Structure 1
Amino acid sequence: MDQVRTVSDTKRKFYAHHTRPINSVYRRVVEELMVEMHLLSVNVNFRYDPIYALGVVTSFDRFMRGYRPEQDLSSIFNALCQAVQGDPQTYRQDAENLKNSVQGLSIEQISSWNSSLVSQGSASNLYERFKEIAFNDSFKYSRLFAIGLYSLLEQIDAEVVNDEKQRNSILQELCESLKLSTDKVQKDLDLYRSNLEKMDQVQAVLEDALQAERKRKQKRALEKQPATPTEEPAPEASGEEDSSSEDTPSS
């Protein structure tokens, strides 16, 4: 029997793939996401799917906005996926394909998927996935799945989703048809939205601090520059010299 991977195993694997230190402000985001992905990956009822992938990608991209150095973001995301034996390109591609599949659909079509998505071309794959969830008594729900579902609704109509009353009504109908706990989904999404707001505030403070530091560096650089010496004005010709030259007799 294979030994179940531990959180420590996953963390070691992550830091083997991403060897650079992580900015302290974002370290907690990365490690919480890593632990959540780990716990799901070792659960016997968990099955990877594009909605979950969209939740992972969206969470990472939104909570890691403003990270410096920016070029480390790909390495961190890749290491996260590889640490739980996943393929980062698959996560990205599945998330993008899922968003593309709902182009042109309405929120109402998604919330009433069991009657409206059967023959909707590329969206028929979403219909099949929803059907698998609804008829799977052992489906492993996760916060990341809820975020993926929420992101899908945002992709279709962000204005409707930002309206609390409409959002809750849509989520209730969708959760009931998928046989998910409406209360659990709404609580997870409320926490997600709240944490995003807090992170946006942190990122704004960091950006202000970065700009202030740039200005201080520019000021110090200017102060270190040697002063440009002032050129002395050329002496004016005296009247005596002019008159003497005029008085010189010609030969």
Structure 2
Amino acid sequence: MTNLRTVSDTKRAFYNYHSRPINSLYRRVVEELMVEMHLLSVNVDFVYNPLYALGVVTSFDRFMVGYEPAEDKESIFAAICRAVGGDPQQYRQDADALTTDLSNLSLSDLNTQLTNAKATNGDSLQGKLHMVANQASAKYTRLMAVGLYTLFETVDKSALDDKDKREELLKAAADMLALPSDKVDKDLELYRSNLEKMAQAQEVMKDILAAERKKREQRAQAKKEAVSAPDTTSDAAPDTAESES
């Protein structure tokens, strides 16, 4: 009997792949994504597909905006994927291929392909949507909902501005792909809300870092001025013995 990988195993593997500390503002983002992907990877009902890959990549990229040092971001992403037994290159390639399939598509074109998803296979986007629509028994994850949202956002971002229209579009799309529309709606509202909160936290952190940088510069300038100031202690008083003589 094969022992299933535990969350602790996955976290340990992650830090073996990426040994540098995680910026405190982003630590929860990294750990929550990693734990969710771990739980899916050990669930027998979960099936990997391009929509899920797009959701993973989009979630990571959106919530990691502004991460410093920037050069650590890809290392962190790769470590998350490898820690759950995945291939970071496959995630990126599948997500990129899906968004490339959307090039030059209108909102109407996307809706047509979604409508035909269950019945019609095909190349590129149609085939990928067909794959998702025919995995009705597979484990649902909010990352698929994020992937679905990204499809619409890529084709026509303005279509998502109006709440009623957004909910109507996403509910219809979820139904066509055999995804639980009520869960999709709740997950995407939370996703949008968390993105806003993260953006606010990033702005606060920027202000804090800017204030700290200004203080350091002021201290450095004060130290520099103190070093370069003339030494007035050299103007000593006349020698007492000499004056008495």
> Common fold, TM-score beyond 0.5?
yes
Distance of 1:212 and 1:115 partners within structure 2: 53
- Relative to structure 1, is the Cα distance of residues 191 and 200 closer, same or farther in structure 2, using a 3 angstrom cutoff? same
TM alignment of 1:50-65, pairs within 5 A? 50-65=50-65
- Relative to structure 1, is the Cα distance of residues 209 and 192 closer, same or farther in structure 2, using a 3 angstrom cutoff? same
TM alignment of 1:143-154, pairs within 5 A? 143-154=142-153
- Where 1:66 maps in the other structure, the secondary structure is coil
Q: CA deviation at 1:134?
A: 2.3
RMSD of aligned residue pairs (Cα, Å): 2.0
- Relative to structure 1, is the Cα distance of residues 114 and 208 closer, same or farther in structure 2, using a 3 angstrom cutoff? closer
Distance of 1:137 and 1:117 partners within structure 2: 12
**Native 8 Å contact 1:112 1:174 kept in 2:** no
Residue in structure 2 matched with residue 233 of structure 1 by the alignment: none
Residue in structure 2 matched with residue 73 of structure 1 by the alignment: 73
- Relative to structure 1, is the Cα distance of residues 38 and 155 closer, same or farther in structure 2, using a 3 angstrom cutoff? same
TM alignment of 1:237-248, pairs within 5 A? none
Distance of 2:51 and 2:175 partners within structure 1: 17
Q: Does 1:111 align with 2:111?
A: yes
Distance of 1:53 and 1:134 partners within structure 2: 15
Residue in structure 2 matched with residue 31 of structure 1 by the alignment: 31
Q: CA deviation at 1:102?
A: 0.4
Q: Does 1:198 align with 2:197?
A: yes
TM alignment of 1:1-251, pairs within 5 A? 1-114=1-114, 124-225=123-224, 226-227=227-228, 229=230
- Relative to structure 1, is the Cα distance of residues 116 and 46 closer, same or farther in structure 2, using a 3 angstrom cutoff? closer
- Relative to structure 1, is the Cα distance of residues 157 and 6 closer, same or farther in structure 2, using a 3 angstrom cutoff? same
**Native 8 Å contact 2:29 2:63 kept in 1:** yes
Gaps of 5+ in 1: 231-251
Query: Which residue identity lines up with residue 179 of structure 2 in the other structure?
Result: L
Distance of 1:144 and 1:125 partners within structure 2: 21
Residue identity over aligned pairs, in percent, reads 54
Which range is displaced more, 58-67 or 190-199? 58-67
Q: CA deviation at 1:22?
A: 1.2
- Relative to structure 1, is the Cα distance of residues 8 and 177 closer, same or farther in structure 2, using a 3 angstrom cutoff? same
Which range is displaced more, 40-49 or 103-112? 103-112
- Where 1:5 maps in the other structure, the secondary structure is coil
**Native 8 Å contact 1:109 1:117 kept in 2:** no
Runs of 4+ in 1 over 6 A off after TM superposition: none
- Where 1:112 maps in the other structure, the secondary structure is helix
Query: Which residue identity lines up with residue 219 of structure 1 in the other structure?
Result: Q
Q: CA deviation at 1:221?
A: 1.1
1:159-206: CA deviation from partner (whole Å, max 9, x where unpaired): 112221221111121112122221110100000000111110100000
Query: Which residue identity lines up with residue 191 of structure 1 in the other structure?
Result: L
Distance of 1:204 and 1:126 partners within structure 2: 37
Gaps of 5+ in 2: 232-245
Distance of 1:141 and 1:18 partners within structure 2: 29
- Relative to structure 1, is the Cα distance of residues 187 and 114 closer, same or farther in structure 2, using a 3 angstrom cutoff? closer
Which range is displaced more, 211-220 or 105-114? 105-114
Distance of 2:45 and 2:95 partners within structure 1: 21
Distance of 1:117 and 1:140 partners within structure 2: 18
